[in-house]
């Protein structure tokens, strides 16, 4: 259950939006920040706040790659696997990070620190290959840079929230 201040804040955001649907991603991201991922409880709360059916919220949630309908680590690393990044070494970057983390792409390290996921184009194709952690994007990511970012996340020295 979300605290009263968060509920009030989200109600105000929904009221300020032109349509409730417009506020949906904002609401889901706020709930995700609170719970760590968009739990079933969070989905129900989003449904009530947005006055949309749980199915409608679920459809939106599954459409957005940055909304997580299953548990994720404290940090979520997205590596773009769309065409420009793929052609610029994105696949190798993804493999390299998976090897460094010793996990399969799509899974989370046993310590719960990092989840590694592929993602669609981040809209930064000119800087390929790209990755994203929380709200922060990284472009022209070399294998070394990727390794440094992941090491910093594991040491908690990058200061990025997984679900921000
Ligand atoms: S293809 Fe990766 S940012 Fe566009």
Phi, psi at 82, each rounded to 5°: -80, 175
4-63 CATH choice from 1.10.10, 1.20.120, 3.40.50, 2.60.40:
1.10.10
Q: Residue 10's pLDDT is what?
A: 97
Rounded to the nearest whole angstrom, what is the distance from the C-alpha of residue 89 to the centroid of ligand 1?
Answer: 11
d(CA 3, CA 91): 41
Residues 42-58: what's their mean pLDDT?
97
- Nearest atom in ligand 1 to the alpha carbon of residue 122 is 3
**Secondary structure of residue 79 in the 3-state scheme:** strand
pLDDT score of 159 more than 60: no
Rounded to the nearest whole angstrom, what is the distance from the C-alpha of residue 164 to the centroid of ligand 1?
Answer: 21
CATH number at 75-154: 3.40.30.10
Tokens of 44: 């129900």
Q: pLDDT tens digits for 70-114?
A: 999 999 999 999 999 999 999 999 999 999 999 999 999 999 999
Closest by Cα among 85, 91, 96 to 137? 85
Sole residue written with tokens 């472009």: 139
Host H or E run for residue 145? helix 143-154
State if pTM tops 0.75: yes
Mutate to test the pocket of ligand 1, among 120, 122, 140 (most ligand atoms within 8 A of CB): 122
Would you say the CATH fold of 75-154 matches that of 4-63?
no
| Domains of the chain, residue spans | 4-63, 75-154
pLDDT score of 60 more than 90: yes
Q: pLDDT tens digits for 128-152?
A: 999 999 889 999 999 999 999 999 9
When the pLDDT of each residue in the chain is averaged and rounded to a whole number, the result is 94
């Amino acid at each position: 259950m979300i605290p009263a201040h968060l509920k009030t804040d989200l109600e105000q955001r929904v009221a300020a939006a032109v349509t409730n649907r417009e506020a949906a991603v904002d609401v889901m991201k706020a709930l995700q920040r609170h719970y760590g991922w968009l739990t079933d409880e969070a989905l129900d709360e989003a449904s009530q706040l947005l006055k949309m059916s749980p199915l409608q919220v679920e459809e939106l949630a599954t459409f957005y790659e940055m909304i997580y309908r299953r548990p994720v680590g404290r940090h979520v690393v997205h590596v773009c696997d769309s065409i420009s990044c793929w052609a610029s070494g994105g696949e190798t970057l993804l493999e390299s990070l998976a090897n460094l983390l010793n996990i399969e792409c799509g899974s989370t390290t046993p310590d719960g620190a990092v989840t590694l996921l592929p993602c669609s184009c981040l809209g930064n194709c000119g800087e390929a290959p790209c990755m994203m952690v929380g709200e922060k994007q990284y472009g022209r990511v070399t294998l070394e840079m990727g390794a440094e970012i992941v090491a910093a996340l594991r040491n908690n020295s990058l200061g990025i929230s997984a679900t921000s």
